[in-house]
A = this chain, B = another copy of it.
């Protein structure tokens, strides 16, 4: 039996029934596609994942990337993965036709990567970072940079990275110290150190193209003096040959998880050359314009890992006999055969918890992708609206699958009991792998400050109202179904709850109490994320009920009913948390601001 790590029916149901992906095919931009061609693509990536990714996930952990003789060596299977990935167009899938891409809708691109990440979360980074790095060049680079780098990156002859973090700066990008000194030929000499560089070095690309944040000599202090450079590992000579560009791999970080995905320490030495992307001193703003994709990709990875963990624990629960259920007198009959653990309500609770988080997270990723797609195919106000809705949801789409995905994976490990703790089973690996997701691309704290400090106040709060209106549409649709009405009411109450919490917080920002305003941002993220996922679940349930009502037999009846059931589970066990979170945020005391640091001892 093929082991399961995701459910293709759920992916397709979410795409077409819940998020109306078919409507995209009516646009000029995505008119080359239809459901058949997309399904073919989804199925071929699933088949690639079954054959080339999933069978290697455990081995990549056990034989991790390693530093050897000044280079990093990654698992040999990556050679096949990258080569077949090129054939499948996995980097091309991110780009428009004009630069040689497939011009796929975002929702499809993210579905493809979600499938691959559920199969093997160590593998996709090499491709996804190549997409991100090439995209910076496409968006902001000169024609020369584009023609030099982009085609090689789209076919993965060269792979890409993002070099932001430095040892002394961490998340504080205004403190970047890497320098860029102009040369007469228009290039810059780059000097500095970068750490935590994912995909920073490996043996399966002819060249590695680093997108590097650095300061041009004499640049202003802070974020307004940071520029973006292309710094290849090997530089192109006039004759087309490649020579060393003095990017030294100093070492490899030994990590808790994602051990097959290398994480390098790089040094840019004396004669290392870089080429400016776009204008000087605008590097951070370029980087941030690309950050939406990277953040959604990170959330997607969290959802993918949680999916793999869910199916691994579900399988165990379906195969492991243990214990008996009590009869009407509360007794257990030891003469009976043991029952499968899936028949214990507490095990079902754990599995439903996982399913609710995994599928809720996937739906949110698709929602954000759909906004990105609709933005690209809309005009005027609608176009702006979708872009801002995407902006608002982005930190949530990054954080919810990271934080709750971790809980889901830990729950999955618990389903296996003592075996969950043993390396013979994969749950312990997913528990390690997923732990990075709430740190990558801006930690949960940083995403939460982005949500509270920037996003909820976008356009004077209008964007938050737009999201509320989107939820109202779902609430109205749900209210047509008796079985859903109660949950529609709950979502409506929660909309009011968010409103009241925001109203309580805003005066602090007005009064200049910025520290206090942001102090509970992470708790607000928990509140807001839970409600957003509650919205997604209601939307899923509406689609399921509509399918049942209309006699749509695309999927079995139990499939639709399972979605409604899981929605109810989410509302009962997760949405019930929101009031307590709101209370914590609106408490009159500012316990984390007004305190003596000595209290921590």
Q: Please list the residues of chain A having a beta carbon within 8 angstroms of any beta carbon in chain B.
A: 7, 165, 168-172, 174-175, 195-196, 221-223, 253-257, 314, 317, 320-330, 332, 334-335, 338, 342-352, 355, 406, 410, 413-414, 417-418, 420-424, 428, 431-432, 435-436, 438-439, 443-445, 448-449, 453, 509, 512, 514-516, 518-523, 558-559, 561-562, 565-566, 568-569, 572-573, 576-581, 583-584, 587, 589, 591-593, 595-601
Instruction: Give the complex CA separation of A518 and B324 in angstroms.
Output: 13
Q: Which residues of B are found within 8 Å of A172, using beta-carbon distances?
A: 322-324, 338
Instruction: Give the complex CA separation of A183 and B596 in angstroms.
Output: 70
Q: Which residue from chain B places its CB closest to the CB of A522 in the assembled complex?
A: B346
B580 contacts A417, CB within 8 Å? no
Q: Which residues of B are found within 8 Å of A195, using beta-carbon distances?
A: 418
Q: Which residues of B are found within 8 Å of A509, using beta-carbon distances?
A: 330
Q: Which residue from chain B places its CB closest to the CB of A335 in the assembled complex?
A: B221
Instruction: Give the complex CA separation of A565 and B196 in angstroms.
Output: 37
Q: List 15 A-B contacts (CB under 8 A).
A: A170-B322, A222-B332, A255-B422, A326-B515, A328-B514, A330-B512, A330-B514, A344-B445, A345-B519, A345-B592, A352-B600, A561-B599, A565-B591, A572-B589, A573-B584
Chain B CB within 10 A, most for which of A323, A423, A431: A323
B254 contacts A424, CB within 8 Å? yes
A347-B445, A349-B520 known, 20 other contacts, Cβ within 8 Å:
A168-B321, A195-B418, A196-B418, A253-B422, A254-B424, A255-B428, A330-B453, A330-B512, A344-B445, A345-B593, A346-B449, A348-B592, A350-B445, A351-B600, A355-B600, A410-B435, A421-B436, A558-B599, A562-B596, A572-B583
A443 contacts B422, CB within 8 Å? no
Q: Which residues of B are found within 8 Å of A421, using beta-carbon distances?
A: 255-257, 435-436, 439
Closest 4 CB pairs between A and B?
A222-B334, A345-B519, A562-B599, A328-B512
Question: Nearest chain B CB to A564's CB is how many angstroms away?
Answer: 9
Instruction: Give the complex CA separation of A320 and B432 in angstroms.
Output: 24
Q: Which residues of B are found within 8 Å of A520, using beta-carbon distances?
A: 349
Q: Which residues of B are found within 8 Å of A165, using beta-carbon distances?
A: 418
Instruction: Give the complex CA separation of A277 and B420 in angstroms.
Output: 32
Question: Nearest chain B CB to A486's CB is how many angstroms away?
Answer: 10
A558 contacts B596, CB within 8 Å? yes
Q: Which residue from chain B places its CB closest to the CB of A329 in the assembled complex?
A: B512
Instruction: Give the complex CA separation of A572 and B595 in angstroms.
Output: 15
Q: Which residues of B are found within 8 Å of A424, using beta-carbon distances?
A: 253-254
Q: Which residue from chain B places its CB closest to the CB of A416 in the assembled complex?
A: B439
Q: Which residue from chain B places its CB closest to the CB of A571 in the assembled complex?
A: B587
B443 contacts A559, CB within 8 Å? no
Question: Nearest chain B CB to A45's CB is how many angstroms away?
Answer: 21
Q: Which residues of B are found within 8 Å of A519, using beta-carbon distances?
A: 345-346, 349
Q: Given contacts A196-B418, A326-B515, A573-B584, are A565 and B254 in contact (CB under 8 A)?
A: no
A581 contacts B576, CB within 8 Å? yes
Question: Nearest chain B CB to A61's CB is how many angstroms away?
Answer: 12
Q: Which residues of B are found within 8 Å of A431, using beta-carbon distances?
A: 256, 435
A522 contacts B349, CB within 8 Å? yes
Q: Which residues of B are found within 8 Å of A576, using beta-carbon distances?
A: 580-581, 583-584, 587
A599 contacts B346, CB within 8 Å? no
B559 contacts A448, CB within 8 Å? no
